[in-house]
Amino acid sequence: MRLGVLDVGSNTVHLLVVDAHSGARPLPAYSHKAELRLAELLDGEGAINSDGIDRLAATVAEALQVAEDQGVEDLLPFATSAVREAANAEHVLVRVAEETGVKLEVLTGEDEARLTFLASRRWFGWSVGRLLLLDIGGGSLEIAFGQDEEPDAAVSLPLGAGRLTSGWLPGDPPDTEALRSLRRHVRAEIARVVGEFTRFNPPDHAVGTSKTFKQLARIAGAARSSEGPYVERRLSRAGLEEWVPRLAAMTVEERTELPGVSEGRARQLLAGAMVAEAAMDLFRVDEVEICPWALREGVILRRLDHLRGS
């Protein structure tokens, strides 16, 4: 069957269309993205402003038309931290439903971590043993650990690359004091949850998912995306430690010239790198392998599991 996953994130609204069957891996058929940056369309009280709501409804309507054009039989629409944490989240959901007919499911941060963990486990399989997942989105950082398909521990922290950039790094390039303040904040937030994971045995394999980790791996020398998803890509903590000060010294325009860095993501790449470096350091991870699958694939896999069970 042809499934569509509509992901309303902090940076983009992404429709992923896949051909999926129970017991088989989902095959990507079509991808449609719109850069919305909901996390930046807030008023002074933390509510998504009227322009943001109008643009979101229009973007969802457009994605719905694309899904219909692509022959999607089952659409799985969900929203993450930008909508979840908005002061007017309920109003936003009602408006989108009234104007488009799409009822967005708001995932909790723990849901995000668990579903992304499921996707990573299915991608790498049982042979990698105990798995530590790190996922940096626009609004939050997800961390999960376990040796099964359901993690033993899963948390979500408000340390997304877009959120931190808009709230902590206004300069271009940012000044030294702003960088120090952000570094202290990021490390303090992550350090609060490290104990939830270190009570288990150390991970056998650590993975990083989503766009931030992919772009950081690319600028550190990993294969380009055009070489396909089955090429092994890794990112070392040592490499990150070299790149963080280099990114901090660059303007946004200069970062867009780096390999694999899109214009829309260049501004928040530094904050993402600081979160990745802090997480790898505090969890004593020397290297992560980049996983091509993340939250959207986790949602699809969970849906297929439910279909198989019924």
Q: pLDDT at position 310, please?
A: 63
Domain extents in the chain: 2-106, 109-295
Q: pLDDT at position 129, please?
A: 97
- List 143's β-bridge partners, or say none: 134, 155
Least confident of 38-52, 205-219, 234-248, 274-288: 38-52
CATH architecture of 109-295: 2-Layer Sandwich (3.30)
Q: Which CATH number fits domain 2-106: 1.20.1050.10, 3.40.190.10, 3.30.420.40, 3.20.20.100?
A: 3.30.420.40
pTM of the model: 0.95
Distance CA 5, CA 163 (A): 24
Q: List strands edge to edge, sheet with 2-8.
A: 27-35, 12-19, 2-8, 74-79, 105-106
Q: pLDDT at position 70, please?
A: 98
Residue 290, amino acid: I
pLDDT digits (tens, 9 = 90+) for 251-304: 999 999 999 998 889 999 999 999 999 999 999 999 999 999 999 999 999 999
In the numeric block, the tokens 């629409």 are attached to 77
Q: How far is CA 169 from the centre of its chain?
A: 20
pLDDT digits (tens, 9 = 90+) for 94-122: 999 999 999 999 999 999 999 999 999 99
Instruction: State percent of the chain over pLDDT 70.
Output: 100
Other beta carbons less than 10 A from residue 236's beta carbon: 16
Distance CA 71, CA 303 (A): 18
Q: How confident is the model at residue 51 (pLDDT cuts 50, 70, 90)?
A: very high
What is the 3 state secondary structure string of the chain? CEEEEEEECCCEEEEEEEECCCCCCCEEEEEEEEECCHHHCECCCCCECHHHHHHHHHHHHHHHHHHHHCCCCEEEEEECHHHHCCCCHHHHHHHHHHHHCCCCEECCHHHHHHHHHHHHHHHHCHHHCCEEEEEECCCCEEEEEECCCCCCEEEEECCCHHHHHHHHCCCCCCCHHHHHHHHHHHHHHHHHHHHHHHCCCCCCEEEEEHHHHHHHHHHCCCCCHHHCCCCCCEEEHHHHHHHHHHHHHCCHHHHCCCCCCCHHHHCCHHHHHHHHHHHHHHCCCCEEEEECCCHHHHHHHHHHHHHHHC
Same fold across 2-106 and 109-295: yes
Distance CA 298, CA 154 (A): 14
The CA–CA distances, whole Å, from 172 to 153, 185, 186, 267 equal 37, 20, 20, 9
